[in-house]
Structure 1
Amino acid sequence: MDQVAEIDAPAHALDERQLKTSMLRGWRRRCPSCGSGPMMQGYLKVRTSCPVCGEELHHHRADDGPPYLTLLIVGHIIGPAMLWFFVKYEPDPYSFMAIFMVAATAMSLWFLPRLKGLIVGIQWATRMHGFGRDE
C-alpha cells in the first residue's frame, strides 16, 4: 500500500527537505530552498517569492515567534551580565542603565531578523502553512 502512495505522489512532494540546512539558511536570511536568494525585503518583511529560484515564501506564519525567542535569548544573556557587572564594578545607576539598555537594544535588533528567518526555514522544511502544497 505504501508503494502505491509513493507512485501516485508528485515527485517534488517526495523530496526530503533538510531541517538543519533550511534553518541555517533562514538564520542567514537566505531562501530556505536554494540558499542563495535573499529572504528579506527590508528589515523584517519576508519576500513573496525568492528572486533566484522562485520558491514562494508568502506562506510563512512567523507572527509572534521571533519576538518571543528574541526576548528569551536576550533576557538570558543580559540578566546574568547585569548581575555580574553590578557586583564587580558597582557602577552609578545612570551608567548602568545606559550600558545595558544599549546592549539589550542592539542584541534584540540583531537577533530579530535572524530568528524570523530561522522560523520561516523551519516552516518551509516541515511543509507547514502551505509550503508543501502542490503548485
Structure 2
Amino acid sequence: MEDTAQLDKWTAIRRGLKGLCPSCGEARLFRAYLKPVDNCPSCGENWEDVRADDGPAWASMLIAGHVLAPFFYFITFRTDLPDWIRTVALCVVGVGMCLWSLPKMKGLFMAWIWYTDAPTSTRE
C-alpha cells in the first residue's frame, strides 16, 4: 500500500476514473454499478465512509449536456427528421452518456475525497 503523501494526485484520480482502488490500483473500487466495496481486498483501504453524494451525478450531467449541445444543434437544424425521432435520439444519447460517465465520475470523486483527506461520513 502506497502512502497518500507519496502518491501523486493524478495517479489516484486516474485510478479512480478506471474504477480501481486509488490507493493501490490493483483491486476494483466498485462491487456493483455504483456500489463501492467496503474495504479494498488488495491493500485493505476502507471505502465504507467515503461518500461522493451528488457530485458524480452533477458532473455526469454537466459533461453530457456540453457534449450533447452540438449533437442537438446538428440533429435539430441540419436534418429533416421527424420531431419524435429527434427527441428519441437526443434522449437515448443523453441517458447513455450519463450512464456511461456516472461510475467514472464517482470513482474520480471518491479518489479526490480520499486523496485530500476530506471529512467523511461518521457512523454511530
TM over 0.5: yes
Query: Taking structure 1 as reference, are residues 13 and 110 closer, same or farther at Cα in structure 2, changes over 3 Å only?
Result: closer
- Which residue does 1:15 correspond to in 2? 5
The reply on whether 1:56 has 2:46 as its aligned counterpart is: yes
Offset of 1:60 from its aligned partner?
A: 1.0
- Which residue does 1:24 correspond to in 2? 14
Which is greater in Rg? 1
- Which residue does 1:9 correspond to in 2? none
- Counting matched residue pairs gives 119
Query: Taking structure 1 as reference, are residues 59 and 18 closer, same or farther at Cα in structure 2, changes over 3 Å only?
Result: farther
User: Among 106, 111, 119, which residue is 1:121 paired with?
Assistant: 111
Offset of 1:129 from its aligned partner?
A: 2.4
CA RMSD of aligned residues (A): 1.6
- Which residue does 1:7 correspond to in 2? none
Instruction: Give me the whole-angstrom Cα distance separating, in 2, the residues matched to 1:27 and 1:81.
Output: 25
For 1:40, the aligned partner's letter is: F
The runs of 5 or more residues in structure 1 that have no matched partner are 1-11, 131-135
Identity of aligned residues (%): 32
Instruction: Give me the whole-angstrom Cα distance separating, in 1, the residues matched to 2:39 and 2:86.
Output: 44
The runs of 5 or more residues in structure 2 that have no matched partner are none
The structure where helix makes up a greater share of residues is: 1
Could you state the TM-score of these two structures normalised by the residue count of structure 1? 0.82
Instruction: Give me the whole-angstrom Cα distance separating, in 1, the residues matched to 2:119 and 2:97.
Output: 29
Partner-residue secondary structure (3-state), 2:78? helix
Could you state the TM-score of these two structures normalised by the residue count of structure 2? 0.89
Preserved contact between residue 4 and residue 23 of structure 2 (Cα < 8 Å): no
The reply on whether 1:44 has 2:34 as its aligned counterpart is: yes
Aligned structure 1 segments of 4 or more residues deviating by more than 2 angstroms? 12-17
